[in-house]
Homo-oligomer: A and B are copies of this chain.
Amino acid sequence: MLNASWERPPFDIVRFAHVELVVADLGAAREFYVDLLGLVLTEETDDALYLRGYEERLHHSLVLRRGAEPALGHIGYRVWSPDDLEKLARHFEGLGCTTHWVGEEAESGLGPGRALRLQDPLGFPIEFFHDMRPAERLTQRYDLYRGANIMRIEHVNLYVPDLLPAYELYRGLGFRCSEYIETDDGQLCAVWLYRKPTVHDTAFTTGYGPRLHHLAYAPADSQSIIRICDILAGAHRESAIERGPGRHGVSNAFYVYFRDPDGHRVELYTGDYYTGDPDFEPIRWSASDARRRSYWAHHVPDSWYDEGTPVVSLDGRTVELKPPVVDERIGAVH
Protein backbone atom coordinates (compact mmCIF):
# COMPACT_ATOMS: atom_id res chain seq x y z
CA MET A 1 0.00 0.00 0.00
CA LEU A 2 1.17 3.45 -0.91
CA ASN A 3 1.84 5.98 1.83
CA ALA A 4 -0.52 8.70 0.66
CA SER A 5 -0.04 11.05 3.60
CA TRP A 6 0.63 14.50 2.36
CA GLU A 7 1.56 17.97 3.46
CA ARG A 8 1.08 21.24 1.68
CA PRO A 9 4.58 22.47 0.78
CA PRO A 10 5.60 26.15 1.00
CA PHE A 11 5.30 26.64 -2.77
CA ASP A 12 2.31 26.19 -5.02
CA ILE A 13 2.73 24.33 -8.32
CA VAL A 14 -0.52 24.96 -10.17
CA ARG A 15 -0.26 22.39 -12.93
CA PHE A 16 1.77 20.71 -15.61
CA ALA A 17 1.82 23.28 -18.39
CA HIS A 18 4.06 22.53 -21.35
CA VAL A 19 6.64 20.31 -22.98
CA GLU A 20 9.49 20.97 -25.37
CA LEU A 21 10.23 18.18 -27.81
CA VAL A 22 13.19 17.97 -30.14
CA VAL A 23 12.16 16.86 -33.62
CA ALA A 24 14.25 16.09 -36.67
CA ASP A 25 11.91 17.53 -39.32
CA LEU A 26 9.81 20.57 -38.48
CA GLY A 27 7.78 20.24 -41.68
CA ALA A 28 6.75 16.69 -40.89
CA ALA A 29 5.99 17.70 -37.30
CA ARG A 30 3.87 20.60 -38.48
CA GLU A 31 1.90 18.41 -40.82
CA PHE A 32 1.22 15.94 -38.01
CA TYR A 33 0.45 18.31 -35.14
CA VAL A 34 -1.20 21.17 -37.02
CA ASP A 35 -2.69 19.77 -40.23
CA LEU A 36 -3.82 16.41 -38.85
CA LEU A 37 -4.25 16.76 -35.06
CA GLY A 38 -5.40 20.37 -35.38
CA LEU A 39 -3.28 22.05 -32.71
CA VAL A 40 -3.22 25.85 -33.01
CA LEU A 41 0.04 27.28 -34.29
CA THR A 42 0.66 30.39 -32.19
CA GLU A 43 4.02 31.15 -33.72
CA GLU A 44 6.61 29.67 -36.00
CA THR A 45 10.30 30.50 -36.11
CA ASP A 46 13.13 29.11 -38.16
CA ASP A 47 13.82 26.37 -35.68
CA ALA A 48 10.65 25.93 -33.65
CA LEU A 49 6.86 25.66 -33.67
CA TYR A 50 4.82 26.97 -30.73
CA LEU A 51 1.50 25.20 -30.36
CA ARG A 52 -1.57 25.30 -28.12
CA GLY A 53 -5.11 23.95 -27.76
CA TYR A 54 -8.25 25.95 -28.56
CA GLU A 55 -8.94 26.72 -24.91
CA GLU A 56 -5.45 27.71 -23.89
CA ARG A 57 -4.68 31.30 -22.94
CA LEU A 58 -0.92 31.00 -22.91
CA HIS A 59 1.41 31.31 -25.88
CA HIS A 60 2.07 27.57 -26.08
CA SER A 61 1.80 24.23 -24.36
CA LEU A 62 4.07 22.45 -26.82
CA VAL A 63 7.32 23.58 -28.38
CA LEU A 64 8.69 21.52 -31.23
CA ARG A 65 12.34 22.46 -31.66
CA ARG A 66 14.50 21.29 -34.53
CA GLY A 67 17.40 19.12 -33.49
CA ALA A 68 19.56 16.26 -34.57
CA GLU A 69 17.86 13.54 -32.54
CA PRO A 70 14.35 13.20 -31.15
CA ALA A 71 14.45 14.08 -27.47
CA LEU A 72 12.61 15.61 -24.57
CA GLY A 73 13.81 19.21 -24.15
CA HIS A 74 12.07 19.98 -20.89
CA ILE A 75 8.82 19.72 -18.96
CA GLY A 76 7.17 22.92 -17.76
CA TYR A 77 5.12 23.47 -14.60
CA ARG A 78 3.25 26.66 -13.85
CA VAL A 79 3.44 28.11 -10.33
CA TRP A 80 0.94 30.35 -8.57
CA SER A 81 3.23 33.33 -7.89
CA PRO A 82 6.74 34.54 -8.75
CA ASP A 83 7.73 33.88 -5.12
CA ASP A 84 7.11 30.21 -5.65
CA LEU A 85 9.97 30.15 -8.14
CA GLU A 86 12.42 31.30 -5.49
CA LYS A 87 11.12 28.76 -3.02
CA LEU A 88 11.37 25.98 -5.57
CA ALA A 89 14.95 26.98 -6.41
CA ARG A 90 15.89 26.63 -2.76
CA HIS A 91 14.00 23.34 -2.51
CA PHE A 92 15.86 21.76 -5.42
CA GLU A 93 19.18 23.21 -4.35
CA GLY A 94 18.55 21.45 -1.05
CA LEU A 95 18.18 18.25 -3.06
CA GLY A 96 21.58 18.86 -4.62
CA CYS A 97 20.37 20.16 -7.96
CA THR A 98 21.94 23.01 -9.87
CA THR A 99 19.36 25.67 -10.75
CA HIS A 100 19.36 28.03 -13.71
CA TRP A 101 17.30 31.07 -14.49
CA VAL A 102 16.14 31.79 -17.99
CA GLY A 103 14.33 34.90 -19.11
CA GLU A 104 12.38 36.39 -21.95
CA GLU A 105 15.52 36.98 -23.93
CA ALA A 106 16.65 33.39 -23.61
CA GLU A 107 13.42 32.32 -25.25
CA SER A 108 13.47 34.95 -28.01
CA GLY A 109 10.46 36.50 -26.43
CA LEU A 110 8.30 33.51 -27.27
CA GLY A 111 8.27 31.57 -24.08
CA PRO A 112 7.74 32.16 -20.41
CA GLY A 113 9.12 35.16 -18.60
CA ARG A 114 11.76 34.57 -15.97
CA ALA A 115 11.78 30.86 -15.32
CA LEU A 116 13.63 28.33 -13.22
CA ARG A 117 15.30 25.41 -14.91
CA LEU A 118 16.94 22.42 -13.35
CA GLN A 119 17.63 18.77 -13.86
CA ASP A 120 15.70 16.97 -11.14
CA PRO A 121 17.14 14.08 -9.11
CA LEU A 122 15.38 11.63 -11.45
CA GLY A 123 17.24 13.13 -14.40
CA PHE A 124 14.39 15.09 -16.00
CA PRO A 125 14.92 18.66 -17.19
CA ILE A 126 12.20 20.74 -15.56
CA GLU A 127 11.12 24.33 -15.99
CA PHE A 128 9.03 26.16 -13.42
CA PHE A 129 7.49 29.41 -14.62
CA HIS A 130 4.89 31.94 -13.60
CA ASP A 131 4.48 34.31 -16.55
CA MET A 132 3.95 33.52 -20.17
CA ARG A 133 2.80 35.71 -23.00
CA PRO A 134 -0.93 35.36 -23.50
CA ALA A 135 -2.63 34.07 -26.63
CA GLU A 136 -6.19 34.38 -27.76
CA ARG A 137 -8.56 31.88 -26.20
CA LEU A 138 -10.39 30.14 -29.08
CA THR A 139 -12.76 27.99 -27.04
CA GLN A 140 -15.83 29.26 -28.82
CA ARG A 141 -14.30 29.71 -32.26
CA TYR A 142 -15.78 26.38 -33.30
CA ASP A 143 -15.48 27.53 -36.89
CA LEU A 144 -11.71 27.10 -36.48
CA TYR A 145 -11.77 23.65 -34.88
CA ARG A 146 -9.97 20.96 -36.86
CA GLY A 147 -8.67 17.47 -36.34
CA ALA A 148 -9.05 16.15 -32.82
CA ASN A 149 -10.61 19.35 -31.43
CA ILE A 150 -7.82 19.65 -28.89
CA MET A 151 -8.71 21.91 -25.99
CA ARG A 152 -5.75 21.91 -23.59
CA ILE A 153 -2.66 20.11 -22.45
CA GLU A 154 -3.51 17.42 -19.91
CA HIS A 155 -0.56 15.54 -18.43
CA VAL A 156 2.85 14.05 -18.96
CA ASN A 157 3.89 10.45 -18.33
CA LEU A 158 7.51 9.58 -17.55
CA TYR A 159 9.48 6.35 -17.49
CA VAL A 160 11.56 5.80 -14.37
CA PRO A 161 13.57 2.74 -13.43
CA ASP A 162 12.36 2.87 -9.84
CA LEU A 163 8.95 4.21 -8.88
CA LEU A 164 9.35 5.01 -5.22
CA PRO A 165 11.99 7.77 -5.49
CA ALA A 166 9.88 9.41 -8.19
CA TYR A 167 6.77 9.25 -6.07
CA GLU A 168 8.58 10.65 -3.06
CA LEU A 169 10.13 13.51 -5.02
CA TYR A 170 6.75 14.60 -6.34
CA ARG A 171 4.99 14.08 -3.02
CA GLY A 172 7.53 16.54 -1.69
CA LEU A 173 6.48 18.99 -4.41
CA GLY A 174 2.89 18.81 -3.20
CA PHE A 175 1.55 16.27 -5.67
CA ARG A 176 -1.16 13.90 -4.46
CA CYS A 177 -1.66 10.38 -5.72
CA SER A 178 -4.91 9.41 -7.47
CA GLU A 179 -4.20 5.86 -8.63
CA TYR A 180 -1.36 3.37 -8.75
CA ILE A 181 -0.52 -0.10 -10.02
CA GLU A 182 1.48 -2.55 -8.01
CA THR A 183 2.38 -6.20 -8.31
CA ASP A 184 0.78 -8.58 -5.89
CA ASP A 185 4.02 -8.69 -3.95
CA GLY A 186 3.90 -4.94 -3.48
CA GLN A 187 6.22 -3.63 -6.19
CA LEU A 188 5.00 -0.27 -7.47
CA CYS A 189 4.67 -0.28 -11.30
CA ALA A 190 3.03 3.04 -12.03
CA VAL A 191 1.67 6.03 -10.16
CA TRP A 192 -0.61 8.95 -11.14
CA LEU A 193 0.06 12.27 -9.43
CA TYR A 194 -1.85 15.54 -9.50
CA ARG A 195 -1.85 19.17 -8.54
CA LYS A 196 -4.92 20.34 -10.51
CA PRO A 197 -7.89 18.27 -9.25
CA THR A 198 -7.93 15.68 -12.02
CA VAL A 199 -6.35 12.24 -12.09
CA HIS A 200 -2.93 13.57 -12.97
CA ASP A 201 -0.52 16.20 -14.03
CA THR A 202 2.34 13.72 -14.04
CA ALA A 203 2.42 9.94 -14.10
CA PHE A 204 5.39 7.64 -13.69
CA THR A 205 5.67 4.29 -15.42
CA THR A 206 8.23 1.59 -14.79
CA GLY A 207 10.77 1.28 -17.60
CA TYR A 208 14.21 2.24 -18.76
CA GLY A 209 14.50 5.79 -17.51
CA PRO A 210 14.57 8.65 -17.33
CA ARG A 211 12.59 8.93 -20.57
CA LEU A 212 9.35 10.55 -21.67
CA HIS A 213 6.60 7.98 -22.03
CA HIS A 214 4.01 10.34 -23.48
CA LEU A 215 2.47 13.75 -23.54
CA ALA A 216 -1.34 14.06 -23.40
CA TYR A 217 -3.85 16.59 -24.64
CA ALA A 218 -7.55 16.80 -23.81
CA PRO A 219 -9.90 16.83 -26.82
CA ALA A 220 -13.38 18.34 -26.69
CA ASP A 221 -15.06 14.96 -26.23
CA SER A 222 -14.63 11.22 -26.77
CA GLN A 223 -16.20 11.48 -30.23
CA SER A 224 -13.19 13.55 -31.29
CA ILE A 225 -10.96 10.58 -30.50
CA ILE A 226 -12.90 8.35 -32.87
CA ARG A 227 -12.84 11.07 -35.49
CA ILE A 228 -9.11 11.71 -35.40
CA CYS A 229 -8.47 8.01 -36.01
CA ASP A 230 -10.76 8.26 -39.02
CA ILE A 231 -8.91 11.36 -40.18
CA LEU A 232 -5.51 9.70 -39.87
CA ALA A 233 -6.75 6.65 -41.81
CA GLY A 234 -8.37 8.92 -44.40
CA ALA A 235 -4.98 10.54 -44.91
CA HIS A 236 -3.24 7.12 -45.05
CA ARG A 237 -1.57 7.86 -41.75
CA GLU A 238 -3.23 5.02 -39.80
CA SER A 239 0.19 3.65 -38.83
CA ALA A 240 0.51 6.59 -36.42
CA ILE A 241 -2.11 4.91 -34.20
CA GLU A 242 -0.21 2.85 -31.63
CA ARG A 243 -2.88 1.89 -29.10
CA GLY A 244 -6.59 2.45 -28.71
CA PRO A 245 -9.07 4.00 -28.86
CA GLY A 246 -10.25 2.50 -25.64
CA ARG A 247 -11.21 3.11 -22.05
CA HIS A 248 -8.56 3.20 -19.36
CA GLY A 249 -9.12 1.25 -16.17
CA VAL A 250 -6.82 3.64 -14.32
CA SER A 251 -8.31 7.15 -14.66
CA ASN A 252 -11.47 5.99 -16.46
CA ALA A 253 -10.49 8.20 -19.40
CA PHE A 254 -11.25 7.43 -23.03
CA TYR A 255 -7.95 7.47 -24.90
CA VAL A 256 -5.88 6.90 -27.99
CA TYR A 257 -2.08 6.91 -28.38
CA PHE A 258 -0.26 8.09 -31.49
CA ARG A 259 3.38 8.13 -32.45
CA ASP A 260 4.44 11.36 -34.13
CA PRO A 261 6.86 11.37 -37.11
CA ASP A 262 9.80 11.39 -34.67
CA GLY A 263 8.37 8.58 -32.58
CA HIS A 264 7.26 10.81 -29.68
CA ARG A 265 4.10 9.34 -28.15
CA VAL A 266 1.03 11.57 -27.84
CA GLU A 267 -2.16 10.63 -26.06
CA LEU A 268 -5.61 12.12 -26.45
CA TYR A 269 -7.38 11.68 -23.13
CA THR A 270 -10.83 12.69 -21.91
CA GLY A 271 -13.32 11.73 -19.26
CA ASP A 272 -11.48 11.31 -16.00
CA TYR A 273 -12.90 12.59 -12.70
CA TYR A 274 -12.58 15.12 -9.88
CA THR A 275 -9.90 14.48 -7.27
CA GLY A 276 -9.86 17.73 -5.29
CA ASP A 277 -11.53 16.63 -2.08
CA PRO A 278 -9.35 16.55 1.04
CA ASP A 279 -10.09 12.91 1.81
CA PHE A 280 -9.47 11.54 -1.66
CA GLU A 281 -7.81 8.14 -1.31
CA PRO A 282 -5.61 6.65 -4.03
CA ILE A 283 -7.09 3.75 -5.97
CA ARG A 284 -4.95 0.62 -6.08
CA TRP A 285 -4.88 -1.64 -9.14
CA SER A 286 -3.17 -5.01 -9.25
CA ALA A 287 -0.71 -5.56 -12.09
CA SER A 288 -2.57 -8.82 -12.66
CA ASP A 289 -5.90 -7.11 -13.35
CA ALA A 290 -6.33 -7.09 -17.14
CA ARG A 291 -8.57 -4.02 -16.88
CA ARG A 292 -5.97 -1.69 -15.32
CA ARG A 293 -4.53 -0.34 -18.60
CA SER A 294 -7.52 -1.10 -20.81
CA TYR A 295 -10.83 -1.41 -19.05
CA TRP A 296 -12.02 -3.52 -21.97
CA ALA A 297 -8.95 -5.79 -21.55
CA HIS A 298 -7.51 -4.80 -24.92
CA HIS A 299 -4.01 -6.09 -25.50
CA VAL A 300 -1.36 -3.43 -24.83
CA PRO A 301 1.43 -3.68 -27.41
CA ASP A 302 4.96 -4.17 -26.16
CA SER A 303 6.05 -0.99 -27.94
CA TRP A 304 3.86 0.91 -25.52
CA TYR A 305 5.74 -0.56 -22.55
CA ASP A 306 9.19 -0.41 -24.08
CA GLU A 307 9.61 2.62 -26.32
CA GLY A 308 9.99 6.24 -25.32
CA THR A 309 11.69 9.55 -25.89
CA PRO A 310 15.24 10.04 -24.55
CA VAL A 311 15.93 12.95 -22.27
CA VAL A 312 18.46 15.67 -22.98
CA SER A 313 19.98 17.26 -19.90
CA LEU A 314 20.08 21.04 -19.60
CA ASP A 315 23.70 21.03 -20.70
CA GLY A 316 22.81 19.09 -23.82
CA ARG A 317 23.93 15.58 -23.02
CA THR A 318 21.64 12.58 -23.47
CA VAL A 319 20.83 11.26 -20.03
CA GLU A 320 21.96 7.71 -19.38
CA LEU A 321 19.25 5.11 -18.86
CA LYS A 322 18.88 2.65 -16.01
CA PRO A 323 16.95 -0.59 -16.30
CA PRO A 324 13.64 -0.89 -14.48
CA VAL A 325 13.36 -2.67 -11.15
CA VAL A 326 10.06 -4.29 -12.13
CA ASP A 327 8.21 -5.21 -15.31
CA GLU A 328 4.51 -4.56 -14.99
CA ARG A 329 3.74 -7.16 -17.65
CA ILE A 330 5.22 -10.05 -15.74
CA GLY A 331 4.84 -8.53 -12.34
CA ALA A 332 8.26 -9.82 -11.38
CA VAL A 333 11.50 -8.30 -10.21
CA HIS A 334 14.23 -8.20 -12.90
Q: Which of B14, B139, B143, B222 contacts A231 (CB 8 A)?
A: B143
Q: Which of B14, B144, B229 contacts A278 (CB 8 A)?
A: B14
Least distance between A234 CB and chain B CB atoms (Å): 4
The answer to whether B196 touches A297, judged by C-beta atoms less than 8 angstroms apart, is: no
The answer to whether B230 touches A151, judged by C-beta atoms less than 8 angstroms apart, is: no
Give the number of times this chain occurs in the complex, counting copies.
4
Q: Does A15 contact B (CB under 8 A)?
A: yes
Q: In the complex, which residue of chain B has the Cβ closest to the Cβ of A36?
A: B143
Q: In the complex, which residue of chain B has the Cβ closest to the Cβ of A295?
A: B233
Residues from 284 to 302 in A contacting B, C-beta threshold 8 Å: 290-291, 295-299
Q: Does A193 contact B (CB under 8 A)?
A: no
Least distance between A194 CB and chain B CB atoms (Å): 12
Measured CA separation A58–B280 after assembly (Å): 10
| Contact indicator per residue, chain A 214-243, by CB within 8 Å of chain B (1) or not (0) | 000000111100110111111100110100
The answer to whether B297 touches A238, judged by C-beta atoms less than 8 angstroms apart, is: yes
Residues of B within 8 Å of A252, CB to CB, are: 139-140
The answer to whether B271 touches A238, judged by C-beta atoms less than 8 angstroms apart, is: no
Q: Does A185 contact B (CB under 8 A)?
A: no
Measured CA separation A290–B236 after assembly (Å): 10
Residues of B within 8 Å of A230, CB to CB, are: 140, 142, 247, 295-296
Q: Does A81 contact B (CB under 8 A)?
A: yes
The answer to whether A274 touches B241, judged by C-beta atoms less than 8 angstroms apart, is: no
Residues of B within 8 Å of A229, CB to CB, are: 247, 295-296
Q: Which residue among A277, A279, A291 has the maximum number of chain B CB atoms within 10 Å of its CB? A: A277
Residues from 52 to 68 in A contacting B, C-beta threshold 8 Å: 55, 57-58
Q: Does A74 contact B (CB under 8 A)?
A: no
